[in-house]
Structure 1
């Protein structure tokens, strides 16, 4: 009888976590480069009342085990790295990766392992460096900080492989450095650190290492960089609201388990009267 009450409590905790994840997804429905999360459940170890009995030829048949489940727990909270829809802005510093890969950014030039992001809403600072909205420095294809644009440069464009083509004031064009990207073996193993940033972990890449490369690279499997577009959030509002209804009803059902168990316990106590 008490087991059912504790099972209901575990169910309420699980669905509360599910509602937390759904709420975060909906809150970030318009966040550039955001990847939605989902909660997966698993059952807790069952209590075995009686074990299995094997059958014997010409004698008694086999008997299955009798087990009582003890509730539910969180199996995983996954990050779904599916592509978001493209939003055209025509801003030359708004970049979208069409395929696999992440942009590399650093807080300082001497940072060893850069952070990763799918948010390509970049800007140019007073030193003509390409930075994020928080001032992080964008890296090149070698993993170092991207070179600043030249002072007599009148216009520039970014090719699909990340090459920055600069137009000089004398009408000539010069191919500059390449914006670097990196492909991760297991994107779900990345750690979210806020600000649309991820940190590489031991379960994302072997050894926790990160190797910068070029975009639109068939050998490395990186996607092309599309200038003038941003990758929007991959949150599906229809699916999120449906899951919210399921989580709400699941929470209510588990609370009813606790209420019913309490009523049964009350009847047992009243037997003495």
Structure 2
């Protein structure tokens, strides 16, 4: 059979994957803290028709003749650029200005907490700071879940993650609670779990155990907190629609390769007549 048939099939599969990723990006254009993905391609092994010959005293060298065998998906990368800020003026809405992730999980999940950039947090009935799925927000230095003390009438959150409380007498003082942030060496190596959550992997960090630090820590390089704001999706609709057109045309071109190859094969079959 013609090599071009299989090359066309591999191209259609690759562009279908690209369209799937683009569709997911566009679907999450308004998802808090969402990070878009991109598809990168690589060529498949080439078949060598004739090999290389080196030059000698009487004759020059000859290059190899190779025919490519199609394309495959090299990687599907998560692009961790910052999303735009949306002001909500809600104290418990937090945006990370810089590198790092919030750590969320169950009360006994301090060292294996999930990571997220979505800072739309609220207080539950026990005054625990939780996300939309009820997972606890972890404190700095692996201190466990953040809980606002009962004697606090109101509170604010500083850029360094420190929760400042105001009691019934109007006294302003730190509550001793500091929101934790996790620094990840290779954010693209994190595993997406859905629900705006990531899981630490061995390719994201050398140490897969979660270590939370205070925001704005210059030594660890984590960003600062901005209370009353949320980080929006980093998906650029203009770029996504442009890539969609490219993927669509690529898919059509590869389907035309298959059609043309089929017509050539039909001519070969008709030779017997």
TM range (shorter): over 0.9
Decide whether the 8 Å contact of 2:161 with 2:178 is kept in 1: yes
TM-score calculated relative to the size of structure 1: 0.98
- Mapped partners of 2:116, 2:41: distance in 1: 28
Q: Equivalent residue for 1:70?
A: 69
CA distance in 1, matches of 2:106, 2:37: 26
Q: Indicate if the aligned counterparts of 1:153 and 1:167 stay in contact, CA closer than 8 A.
A: yes
Q: For residue 246 of structure 2, what is the aligned residue in structure 1?
A: 246
**Corresponding residue pairs, total:** 272
Q: Pairwise mapping of residues 65-104 of structure 1 onto structure 2 (< 5 A)?
A: 65-104=64-103
Contact 1:42–1:73 (CA under 8 A) maintained in structure 2: yes
Counterpart Cα distance in 2 of 1:147 and 1:81: 26
Secondary structure at the residue paired with 2:39? Answer: strand
After TM superposition, give the deviation of residue 142 of structure 1 in Å.
1.7
**Rounded Cα–Cα distance in structure 2 between residues aligned with 1:72 and 1:31:** 32
TM-score by length of 2: 0.98
Q: Secondary structure at the match of 1:226?
A: strand
Q: Where in structure 2 are the equivalents of 1:190-209 lying within 5 Å?
A: 190-209=190-209
Question: How many angstroms does 1:192 deviate by?
Answer: 0.3
Cα drift, residue 116 of structure 1 = 0.4
Judge which range, 143-152 or 17-26, deviates more: 143-152
Corresponding residue for 2:217?
Answer: 217
Distance in 1 (CA, whole Å) between partners of 2:77 and 2:143 is 31
User: Would you say the 8 A contact 1:109–1:144 is kept in 2?
Assistant: no
Report the CA distance between 1:259 and its aligned residue: 0.2
Q: Which runs of 5+ in 2 are unaligned?
A: none
Per-residue CA deviation, residues 76-116 of structure 1 (Å, 9 max, x unaligned), is: 00000000000000000000000000000113324531110
Q: CA deviation at 1:208?
A: 2.0
Aligned structure 1 segments of 4 or more residues deviating by more than 4 angstroms:
none
Tell me how large the CA RMSD over aligned residues is.
1.0
In the alignment, the residues of structure 2 paired with residue 212 and residue 66 of structure 1 have an alpha-carbon distance, to the nearest angstrom, of 56
User: Secondary structure at 2:150's aligned position in 1?
Assistant: coil
Is contact 2:110–2:144 with CA below 8 Å preserved after alignment?
Answer: no
Partner of 2:132: 133
- Provide the C-alpha distance between the structure 1 equivalents of 2:109 and 2:137, rounded to a whole number of angstroms: 13
- 1:104, 1:138 within 8 Å by CA — same for their partners in 2? yes
Q: For the residues of structure 1 that align with 2:41 and 2:261, how far apart are their CA atoms? A: 23
- In structure 1, the gaps of 5 or more residues are none
- Whether the 8 Å CA contact 1:123–1:132 is kept in 2: the answer is yes
- Corresponding residue SS for 1:63: coil
Output the CA distance in 2 between the equivalents of 1:258 and 1:83: 41
Most deviating of 94-103 and 148-157: 148-157
Q: Which residue of 1 is the match for residue 165 of structure 2?
A: 166
Residue in structure 1 matched with residue 184 of structure 2 by the alignment: 184
* Alpha-carbon distance in 1 for matches of 2:78, 2:157: 30
Q: Could you give the per-residue CA deviations for residues 116-166 of structure 1, whole angstroms, max 9, x where no partner exists?
A: 000000000000000000000000002232342122211100000100001
